[in-house]
A and B are shown apart, each in its own frame.
Chain A
Amino acid sequence: MKVPLSWLKDYVEIDIPLPQLARILTMAGLEVEEVRLVGLPFPSQEQHEFKFTGISWDPQKIIVARIDEVMPHPNADRLVLCRLNDGAEEIIVLTGAPNLYPYKGQGKLENPLKVAYAREGSQIYDGHQPGQVLTTLKRAKIRGIDSFSMVCSEKELGISDEHEGVIILDDDAPEGMPLVDYMGDAVFEISILPNMIRNACMVGIAREIAALTGKPLRKPKRTIQPVHPSIEGLATIKILDTSLNPRFVVGLARNVSPNPSPYQVQRRLRLAGMRPINSIVDSTNYVMLELGEPLHAFDYDVLVQRAGGKAPTIITRTAHPGEKLTTLDGVERSLDDFTVLVCDTAGALSIAGVMGGLESEVTEKTRNVLLEGASWNFINIRQTVASQRLNSEAAYRFARNIHPNLAKEGVQLGLERMVCWSGGEIAEGLVDAYPQPAFDPVISLSEADVQRHLGIKLTARQVADLLERLEFECRIEEDTVHAKTPPHRTDIGEGMIGQADLIEEISRLYGFDNIPASRLAVELPPQRGNPVQEMEDRLRDILVGLGLQEIITYRLTSPEREARLLALEDVPYIYLQNPISADRNVMRRSLLASMLEVMEQNIRLRERLAMFEIGPVFIPQPDQLLPAEPHHLAIAITGKAHPTSWDRSNSARLDFFDLKGIVEALLETLHIKNVRFQPLAHPYYHPGKCAQVLSGENSLGVIGELHPVIKKRYDLGTSPVIAGEFETGVLRAVMPDRHDTRTVSAFPPVLEDIAVIVDEETPAEKVLASIFSGGGKLLIEAQLFDIYRGEQIGPGKKSMAYSLTYQATDRTLTDKEASQIRERIIRRLEQDLGARIRSQ
């Protein structure tokens, strides 16, 4: 919300520097996002604690001046010469402002015009350039006339974008006064928290400043006496649903004429971000910004006409099926059955609390105004705003719950402002339908309550003092304060909620800064740890140690994206109702699909890619509201097996056994036992290069070389891509809590090689198993170092060479023992696999 300083000063004395004001507001929850200077000097800030923008007006150069005569330019129709008095001397000033043309050639003006005058050397914004570009006024000759100073527009002074004409100040502006003293200002851009709608107005902010600085709040006063005849009998109100419309107040202003509002009113409206229209509309907007109560002005004569010449009846009700209304913005709107309308007997007039209808709006011809102030159900207003996609300053406020008390205050002040600026008179009395009076809770809070929540000791008196600054009515009873909520707030609840609300207000006014910081003194909770997180972090560390890059991908994808990999029919997904785009409309079921997309993007950037991701996939559960979210681990590698350097090259490519090695290392580090790799047919993978990874009978996951058909669906280069996906929960389940170590032998090992000739089909796993089964406990290692196929051993055969390590922990093995082990191994291989031993 944009808050001009000058406006605040109507209600509270402010004698602190601007940065300090910004600081105390911010530290009270009214965050100042920016201060835009409109004339006032820039503060000297040590620390740039707040962002100050805008323009300062030089008091020596930019001043209030008087135009006594507007004369035609001898050489140009579109320029005029002004005889101007700046309080010190008379000057002829050249200008092209269209709003001075009407005064041209009238001779000496009966009512001289007051203007903002910039002398030579002034720094102002360039009116002819878009945006705000500073420029310095220099002497120039325009069409044969010396020009060195100017009469300014709002744009040139940074008040608004208006550059159609020059500013014409109110008549009482004192010529010769520096303009900054007359109307220099600063606009505070304050972000209003959702529970502080009471502060979305000048009085609200002024109230906070008063509470924070200890100055009194001066509420707006009314001075115009309403006159006879009264409004009684001139309008009736019928509220059909009092829960949707707790209060509806109208008042009447007679014989008004819509004029331009006084310049200072227009300026304030502009600084606050609203466009001045005419004095009637401006008065409703002004009071909304002043008090926070949106008002609505109806042309009373139009209402009478619609009522067939009788006194109108205002009816508030929800819309009929199929009912339509054309709102002020010219849009014909189909209304929902919950939309609340303000109607008369002839039909709908406006969408309650949101926007007026076109027909009954005030116009230049309006003479009598029926002014509405009401209170609406904020939830209902929110629904309408959402459904109609229609927002307005009024709706913004009503959707956050405006206190019904303000309806009456608003109408009274609105009539006052309207008549003040538009002439006419206020009819006595109001028509006030208030079927659901507001309930302002009384909250009881003890000193102990305050201490328990805030950790500071305040007396009941101190608590009451703080709350009274915000207009709570407090009664102290021993150590307890009973505080009645002031009748402009809707954010204070009852009972324990109300207590929390008050605690917040007390801490806010006391100052968060003034509450000392301390460390948790309460008992430490039972220590539970998080085995899932710990295990997954361990996985990450191991995999990074194995040379893999961690990635984190979008958990939102589309079935089409995943179909590149999955290609399965009828897979159920968690679908979004409001996806951001069609290609992110479901929750993923596969990590690998996203990982392949990442590989695709990176494939040309590096000679090798090796990555992993750990995260959930989302599997809808037919009989449950929420999906299962098992955590998966995906790994994929591709490209060169060894780094290239300037003096070595090894063109070997990563293949199945590289990924298998990574998986083996991972499982070994986790001490997962009985790991096996079993050939598997799986749609993602090459049918001959795919394995299920098992620990005993538990399947941990699948790894394999990506099926060439699937690989082709991605732009993945020429190297094979080897990938795998695991469920981390299963890994965790098979991972032992602890493991035993083997004795490290102090005795020398016996090393020897053995070459085993077996059938081509015999899996390596079986050969190894047979070797260990024959070798017994003394065989501690068997490493395959070569596989040979060739004529020497005959067709359909392969020779597998192992280097064997025999070692005992308690003695040095003898040659005899070693040859016995060897014999047992050979016998076992012969028996199990029909193997032959190749002589060395």
Chain B
Amino acid sequence: MTEAQGLLQELQQIQNTALETLKAVQDETGLQAWRSANLGRNAPVMRIFSRLGEVPKEERPLVGQQANQVKQAIETAYNEYETRLHEAALQNSLARDRIDVTLPGRQPYHGRLHPSTQTLRRIYHIFAEMGFQIYLSSDVETDEYNFELLNMPAHHPARDMWDTFHTTREGVLLRTHTSPGQIRVMREYAPDPIRVILPGMCYRYEQISARSEIQFNQVEVLAVGRGITFSEFKGTLIDFARRMYGENVRTRLRPSYFPFTEPSAEMDIECFVCGGKGCNICKGSGWLEIMGCGMVHPVVLQNGGYDPAEFTGFAAGMGPERITILRHRIEDIRHFWANDIRFLEQF
């Protein structure tokens, strides 16, 4: 056997031994030990390279080539084994880190808007898109603005429709509706056309119970212009109702009475709880009353500084709390100002 043959044989053995011992390696530490044993500076295959001088010159390339191939084979085996080992370790660690995803989450503290604000905003938003802007006026009002200028002189029978809180100051009261704002906005803006909504807190002298409150929000709608008709009034309110309650909601407008509008109407929507079949929310009627409304009375236009011969307009009023109560089936109106956190957190 020549020197070269001996080395080639040795190389074959080195490769066999290396690959055989690799099989016994269990972990990263073992793998590194194996690596330094089989690929390190003093590894058998490396020592072959230093012995190449022993081989006749013409046979050196063959042996050298073979030694390289063995070295490469060991390296490849190492790389493959390492990848396998890492993959196994990863799988192990993933399995170990499994959690119970049904455990409760950690909720950060967070706030919410009061339900009345949320409903008010829906109303603002819808009307804003129709060109109606917000106009605010004060809670404490004069009898003149709250009643007289709205076509209700002293002792007018329609005053019975409101139970009024009076202050100790003669002629000063808590507004019973946001309608005094109608006069204020008209006097401020005349003779410009008007499209506003008037939100605000109103007051009613009444015993507090599950169904009635002494204070409540109201949003009033007012449009004044040259040639606004009943037909446009009806169309605008239907548009609002569709945006507020769903585009397929059925509405009806039926005659009613308010001293500051004529013709006056109530707008009803089909009960969304029972779909019009009749339930205790709609008191068996299948309809829910959502808005009092009408064409602005000429006396009111005149008191606001608009000539009724030239201008017409319409007004409507709705209660955000009532809307909220209906939408969420709230059984007690007192929840709104009691501010029990368990109630507020539901919105």
Contact = CB atoms under 8 A, between A and B. Distances in A.
B263 to A, nearest CB: 4
12 contacts: A50-B284, A454-B230, A455-B230, A518-B229, A530-B135, A543-B111, A546-B111, A547-B109, A550-B117, A554-B214, A606-B341, A626-B141
Given A452-B229, A551-B344, A552-B339, A525 B192 contact: yes
A612 B108 CA distance: 18
Given A507-B263, A532-B136, A544-B112, A51 B278 contact: yes
Given A577-B167, A626-B138, A194 B161 contact: yes
Given A518-B235, A643-B107, A616 B278 contact: no
- Size band of the interface chain A makes with B: 35 or more
Interface in B231-266: 231-232, 234-236, 238-239, 252-257, 262-265
B169 interface: yes
A29 interface: yes
Contacts of A51: 278, 283-285
Interface in A119-156: none
B340 A530 contact: no
A194 B124 CA distance: 32
B254 A31 contact: yes
The DSSP consensus for interface residues of chain A is loop
B142 A626 contact: yes
A598 B339 contact: yes
Given A512-B253, A608-B109, 9 more contacts: A453-B229, A454-B231, A507-B263, A549-B341, A550-B117, A552-B336, A555-B139, A601-B339, A605-B340
A733 interface: no
Chain B CB within 10 Å — which of A50, A525, A601, A602 has the most?
Answer: A525
A577 B168 contact: yes
Interface of A: 26-29, 31, 47-51, 193-196, 378-379, 382-383, 399-401, 451-456, 496-497, 499-501, 503-504, 507-508, 512-513, 515-530, 532-533, 537, 540, 543-556, 574-580, 584, 587, 598, 601-602, 605-606, 608-612, 615-616, 618, 625-627, 629, 643, 645-646, 648
B339 A551 contact: yes
B338 interface: yes
A290 to B, nearest CB: 23
B312 interface: yes
- Which are the 6 A-B pairs with shortest beta-carbon distances? A48-B278, A455-B229, A455-B231, A29-B255, A517-B235, A51-B284
Interface string B85-107: 00000000000000000011011
B204 to A, nearest CB: 10
Contacts of A49: 276, 278, 285-287
A556 B213 CA distance: 12
- Size band of the interface chain B makes with A: 35 or more
Given A554-B337, A643-B107, A578 B116 contact: no
A587 B298 CA distance: 34
A526 B277 contact: no
Interface string B266-277: 000000000011
B158 interface: yes
Contacts of B205: 578, 580
A580 B207 contact: yes
Interface string B197-234: 00001010111100000110000000101111111101
Contact of A547 (B108, B169, B299): B108
A610 B189 CA distance: 41
A453 B262 CA distance: 10
Interface in B283-309: 283-287, 295, 297-299, 308-309
Contact of A618 (B139, B255, B284): B139
A27 B298 contact: no
B57 interface: no
A549 B225 CA distance: 41
B129 to A, nearest CB: 12
Given A522-B226, A522-B227, A512 B285 contact: no
A385 to B, nearest CB: 10
Interface string B176-208: 000000000000010011110000010101111
B95 to A, nearest CB: 21
B58 interface: no
B206 A580 contact: yes
A576 B167 contact: yes
Chain A CB within 10 Å — which of B111, B116, B208 has the most?
Answer: B111
A519 B337 contact: no
Contacts, number: 283
Given A454-B231, A520-B232, A546-B111, A50 B257 contact: no
A513 B254 CA distance: 8
B339 A575 contact: no
Nearest to B235: A517
B133 A527 contact: yes
Contacts of B53: none
Contacts of A454: 229-231
A616 B214 CA distance: 17
Contact of B264 (A400, A504, A587, A629): A504
A550 B120 CA distance: 14
Contact of B113 (A529, A550, A602, A629): A550
Contact of A512 (B172, B225, B265): B265
A518 B231 contact: yes
Nearest to A52: B284
Contact of A513 (B109, B228, B252, B263): B252
Given A51-B284, A503-B262, A648 B106 contact: yes
B201 A500 contact: no
Given A521-B232, A575-B167, A26 B254 contact: yes
Chain B CB within 10 Å — which of A31, A520, A609 has the most?
Answer: A520
Contacts of B106: 643, 645, 648
B231 A516 contact: yes
Contact of A605 (B252, B286, B341): B341
A379 B255 contact: no
B131 interface: yes
A552 B116 contact: yes
B134 interface: yes
A338 to B, nearest CB: 11
A296 B342 CA distance: 59
B23 interface: no
Nearest to A551: B339
B112 A453 contact: no
A28 B255 contact: yes
A519 B114 contact: no
Given A51-B283, A555-B201, A616-B139, A525 B256 contact: no
A523 to B, nearest CB: 6
B166 interface: yes
A528 B308 contact: no
A26 B256 CA distance: 9
Contacts of B340: 601-602, 605
A626 B225 contact: no
B341 A544 contact: no
A670 B297 CA distance: 43
A576 B166 contact: yes
A337 B244 CA distance: 53
B171 interface: yes
A496 B297 CA distance: 10
B285 A50 contact: yes
B195 to A, nearest CB: 5
Nearest to B165: A576
Contacts of A611: 111, 339
A50 B172 CA distance: 42
Contacts of A499: 298
Contacts of A527: 131, 133
A508 B201 CA distance: 32
Contact of A625 (B142, B194, B223, B229): B142
A553 B257 contact: no
Contact of B262 (A382, A500, A520): A500
A379 B336 CA distance: 38
Nearest to A550: B114
